[in-house]
Amino acid sequence: MSQSAPEARSSEQEALAAEQARVTAMYGRLDELRTRTETRLSDARLQDRTGYAALVERETRAFEHARERARLGAVEEGLCFGRIDLSHDDGPEARYIGRIGLRDSEYETILVDWRAPAARPFYAATPGDPNGVTRRRHLRVRRRRVTGLDDEVFDADRLSDTDRRQLVGEAALLTALRGARTGRMGDIVATIQTEQDRVIRARLDGVLVVQGGPGTGKTVAALHRAAYLLYTHRDVLERRGVLVVGPNPAFLRYIGDVLPSLGEAEAVMRTVGGLFPGVSAVRHDPYEVAALKGETRIADLLRAAVRDRQRTPREAFGTGDLLVETDAGVLTVPGQVCEHVVRTARGLRLAHNVARKYTVNALLEELARAESALLGRPLAEEDVPFVGERLWAEDPVREALDALWPHLTPERLLRELFADPEALARAGRRAGRSPGDTAPLHRDGGGPRDWTVQDVPLLDEAAELLGRDDSASRAAARRAAAERADEERYAQGVLEYTGLFEDGMMSAAGLAARHRDDGPGATTAERAGADREWTYGHVIVDEAQELSPMAWRTVMRRVPTRSLTVVGDLAQTGSAAGASSWTGALEPYAPGKVHVERLRVNYRTPAPIMAVAADVLRVAAPEEEPPESVREDGAPPRAVALPGGLADLPALVEAERARAGGGKVAVIASEGRIGAVRAVLPDAAGAGDLGQGVVALTATEAKGLEFDSVVVVDPDALLAAPRGANDLYVALTRATRGLTVAHAAPLPAVLSRLEE
Ligand SMILES: Nc1ncnc2c1ncn2[C@@H]1O[C@H](COP(=O)(O)OP(=O)(O)OP(=O)(O)O)[C@@H](O)[C@H]1O
């Protein structure tokens, strides 16, 4: 018999009260832990024992307690969000799921971390495959008060398993999705869906590609995966770090809250333009130049350019012999000898700056012999290097040898190459290209701020070709390796003593590494971000379809284990040398280890807007299926003519905002039109300030972001650009509630659905 309405209300009240008691106990425990951590932190700071060992121990304790304090501080809102009831042979079990794991003072688990294996059934249970779960409950908690419950009861006998994409916790999900946008992405721990959970908990090794249409949760799932991996493989990942590569700085800011809200603050976040330490490029090259710089063939050109800087006297000065004016007079090294030295150095197949040591030493010795001959003073063989060293102190000697085989930094190589059309043509010829082919690379001079995003992979490639003369640092490294073993033994002792080892919070090697070079304050993330040769434990690449083959080379150098999560949508590729196939882009680096998962449900864009975008997708990428929207709500999409041109835009933007019930509006226009749009909307913010009510962006800037409503301006101008249909597809799919297409020219045929 079904319950009457008052009966149902009172049993709901009872359930709420019971859950409230549990949740209150969890917060009570959280408060206790906070107080304990606070006390330990101040105790650690007050310790005033002397000696290096005591100092390191004090700093270590303080650092770890401060970290623990931050972790406990980050989980206040939504500490517990779910419960599963499981049936076991020995009786039922109620398991609570939350942002972190908690045990009571008796060491009984009262809350399971969402990333722990024990939490898995909360996300993985479906009616067809309940995973032992008899009921899943979502708890809505605001400011420590339980305000609502959503239950799903699984009855495997009666429900079929036909729908693979069965949603979990639909009511909780839709409530989460209807919230207004804030300009910052939030976490989704409470409502992760089954297909996303598979991605989040996939194995650490190999290349996992997550292909999915707009709004399928690729970004948010990738970030939860980072948190899951850091939790599950802390020993490896804490030491080597996790790198997250995103498309632009605004995007990195947009997603910047997610990992801290999951209690993980230590991932390194970079754009491709920021992967080379010391450079933070944001500007892009024009399409044609970007295409040229993106293909791996450019690496041959760079190799040829380096080779061009390794010269015989004939190539450098047009003289057969090397002639150097020194204090003793003009010294001559015969052309043949110089050619032999240069040829031998090239044949060593060492990086340029490393082989330079050989060239310079060999030529200095020849100059020493030439000096002894000139002065008529015989020179003992063992004295030759000393005389060479003395000659090296003379400017003309250094200048002459630099002209033959200069020490090059990546920046200098590229700057001088791009500034010199003849050098470009020479390197191009050597790499099998016509001068017309390489001419677009020419640009005048340029300072550090002029590097483009596309230059960064070239700088990285150049750094590999040039290498470092690191004989001194290698000797130091050998000494350091011996010291490291000692430090790790010591760190192990500290960890055992402080109890951090048992908590699994940190490994001895991780602790020793942190203290080694930069003192206790430097995290793995800080050290990794500053070191070009750092190799990460795992790399996540978002909007990965935009990466050129050269950018992939740069990324892959940072993860030799090929442990990567690559998320993107081939239908949204906008960049000149971006990907058209995942296996094509990635198989060469990880043969047989590339695994593609697909996400097919769109959590962002309501179905009526997605239908408009799907028409564009058929032109942009006919082989891709549009994702299925879970949302139907929002205002119907519409097209509005602009008889007065852009002057009509401000009123339209206001109308759109009202139509979609307030919230954040993005006005999206082509590269060519965005300046004029900003001129009529002087109060609109740019990509740097997504918290504003109205922002004006290009499609490239809007990639990966979302807004309550979107006004797409002059779709014909967007379509006219290379990969224009992809850009229009990106622009249309940013909206969560409302879409208006504003057009001065007739509406393009691909948007004819909006005329109905
Ligand atoms: N399981 C979920 N629960 C609640 N919200 C979700 C869930 N999955 C995705 N979302 C929300 O859907 C929106 C789109 O997610 P996200 O930006 O990760 O998609 P995307 O696939 O990266 O999109 P794009 O390709 O357009 O960049 C976000 O607001 C995200 O929080």
Q: Indicate whether residue 181 lines ligand 1 (CB < 6 A).
A: no
The Å distance, Cα 609 to ligand 1 centre, comes to: 16
The Å distance, Cα 573 to ligand 1 centre, comes to: 18
Nearest atom of ligand 1 to the alpha carbon of 190 = 3
Nearest atom of ligand 1 to the alpha carbon of 212 = 21
What's residue 634's pLDDT?
79
The per-residue DSSP string of 109-159 comes to EEEEETTSGGGHHHHH--SS--TTEEEEEEEEEETTEEEEEEEEE--TTTS
- Whole-number Å distance between alpha carbons of 34 and 111: 16
Same fold, 198-276+532-602 and 607-751: yes
Classify 140 as helix, strand or coil.
strand
Cα 203 → chain centroid: 19
Classify 128 as helix, strand or coil.
coil
Q: Indicate whether residue 736 lines ligand 1 (CB < 6 A).
A: no
- Whole-number Å distance between alpha carbons of 401 and 367: 11
Asked whether residue 51 is marked as a ligand-binding residue, the answer is: no
- Whole-number Å distance between alpha carbons of 104 and 743: 62
The Å distance, Cα 187 to ligand 1 centre, comes to: 10
- The complex scores an ipTM of 0.98
Q: How far is CA 64 from CA 116, 209, 503, 504, 513, in A?
A: 22, 35, 11, 12, 15
What's residue 271's pLDDT?
95
Q: Indicate whether residue 549 lines ligand 1 (CB < 6 A).
A: no
Nearest atom of ligand 1 to the alpha carbon of 569 = 25
The Å distance, Cα 184 to ligand 1 centre, comes to: 12
Atom 24, ligand 1: residue with shortest CA distance: 214
Name the amino acid, one letter, at 15.
A
CB 709 within 8 A of CB 657: yes
What's residue 491's pLDDT?
58
Instruction: Spell out the domain ranges in the chain.
Output: 3-179, 198-276+532-602, 287-443, 607-751
The Å distance, Cα 541 to ligand 1 centre, comes to: 16
What's residue 464's pLDDT?
94
Q: Indicate whether residue 657 lines ligand 1 (CB < 6 A).
A: no
Q: Which residue shows structure tokens 């933070």? A: 280
Q: Indicate whether residue 191 lines ligand 1 (CB < 6 A).
A: yes
Q: Indicate whether residue 214 lines ligand 1 (CB < 6 A).
A: yes
Taking each helix axis as running N to C, give the angle between helix 297-308 and helix 410-419, from 0 to 180 degrees, rounded to the nearest 10: 90
Q: Indicate whether residue 604 lines ligand 1 (CB < 6 A).
A: yes
The per-residue DSSP string of 536-555 comes to -SEEEESSGGG--HHHHHHH
- Whole-number Å distance between alpha carbons of 605 and 511: 45
CB 156 within 8 A of CB 183: no
Q: How many CA atoms lie within 13 A of 201 on its CB side?
A: 17
Atom 29, ligand 1: residue with shortest CA distance: 604
Nearest atom of ligand 1 to the alpha carbon of 704 = 27
Asked whether residue 214 is marked as a ligand-binding residue, the answer is: yes
Q: Which two tokens stand for residue 185?
A: 């992405």
- Whole-number Å distance between alpha carbons of 195 and 368: 72
Q: Which two tokens stand for residue 69?
A: 């304090």
Q: Indicate whether residue 726 lines ligand 1 (CB < 6 A).
A: no
Asked whether residue 664 is marked as a ligand-binding residue, the answer is: no
Q: Which of 114, 166, 195, 220 to mutate to test the pocket of ligand 1 (most atoms within 8 A of CB)?
A: 220
Classify 488 as helix, strand or coil.
helix
Atom 30, ligand 1: residue with shortest CA distance: 217
Give the number of other Cβ atoms within 10 Å of residue 616's Cβ. 28
pTM summary value: 0.83
Q: Which two tokens stand for residue 545?
A: 């379809």
Q: How far is CA 660 from CA 628, 637, 708, 713, 720, in A?
A: 21, 10, 7, 17, 29
What's residue 189's pLDDT?
85
List, in sequence order, every residue forming a beta bridge with 244; answer none if it has no partner: 269, 540
- Whole-number Å distance between alpha carbons of 149 and 652: 40
Among candidate residues 243, 218, 267, the one with its CA nearest the CA of residue 556: 243
The Å distance, Cα 588 to ligand 1 centre, comes to: 30
Cα 684 → chain centroid: 28
What's residue 301's pLDDT?
96
Nearest atom of ligand 1 to the alpha carbon of 730 = 26
The Å distance, Cα 341 to ligand 1 centre, comes to: 60
CB proximity list for 276: less than 8 A, separation 6 or greater: 410, 456, 459, 460, 463, 532, 554
Nearest atom of ligand 1 to the alpha carbon of 603 = 12
CB 26 within 8 A of CB 82: no
Cα 598 → chain centroid: 20
- Three-state DSSP string of 455-490: HHHHHHHHHHHHCCCCHHHHHHHHHHHHHHHHHHHH
- Whole-number Å distance between alpha carbons of 642 and 673: 14
Local structure of residue 453 (DSSP, 8 states): T
Identify the CATH number of the domain defined by range 607-751: 3.40.50.300
Q: Which two tokens stand for residue 127?
A: 């009616």
The Å distance, Cα 601 to ligand 1 centre, comes to: 10
332-337: long-range contacts at Cβ-Cβ below 8 A with a sequence spacing of 24 or more?
A: 332/370, 333/363, 333/366, 333/367, 333/370, 337/366
Burial class (CB in 10 A: 0-12, 13-18, 19+), 427: buried
Identify the CATH number of the domain defined by range 198-276+532-602: 3.40.50.300
CA–CA–CA angle 688, 693, 699 (5° rounding):
55
Q: Which of 170, 198, 597, 604 to mutate to test the pocket of ligand 1 (most atoms within 8 A of CB)?
A: 604
Q: Indicate whether residue 731 lines ligand 1 (CB < 6 A).
A: no
Q: Indicate whether residue 177 lines ligand 1 (CB < 6 A).
A: yes
Q: Indicate whether residue 176 lines ligand 1 (CB < 6 A).
A: yes
Q: Indicate whether residue 173 lines ligand 1 (CB < 6 A).
A: yes
What's residue 478's pLDDT?
63
Please, what are the averages of pLDDT over each run of 10 residues along the chain (756 residues)? 57 86 96 94 75 74 84 89 89 91 94 95 83 88 91 56 40 72 81 91 94 95 93 87 92 88 83 93 92 95 96 91 94 95 93 95 96 92 93 95 95 94 94 89 76 96 87 60 64 52 46 48 72 92 96 95 95 86 94 94 94 96 92 89 94 89 92 96 90 92 93 97 94 95 95 87
- Three-state DSSP string of 172-237: HHHHHHHCCCCCCCCCCHHHCCHHHHHHHCCCCCCEEEEEECCCCCHHHHHHHHHHHHHHHCHHHH
- Whole-number Å distance between alpha carbons of 711 and 234: 44
Q: Indicate whether residue 215 lines ligand 1 (CB < 6 A).
A: yes
Q: Which of 122, 598, 600, 603 to mutate to test the pocket of ligand 1 (most atoms within 8 A of CB)?
A: 603
Asked whether residue 661 is marked as a ligand-binding residue, the answer is: no
- Whole-number Å distance between alpha carbons of 571 and 674: 23
The Å distance, Cα 99 to ligand 1 centre, comes to: 19
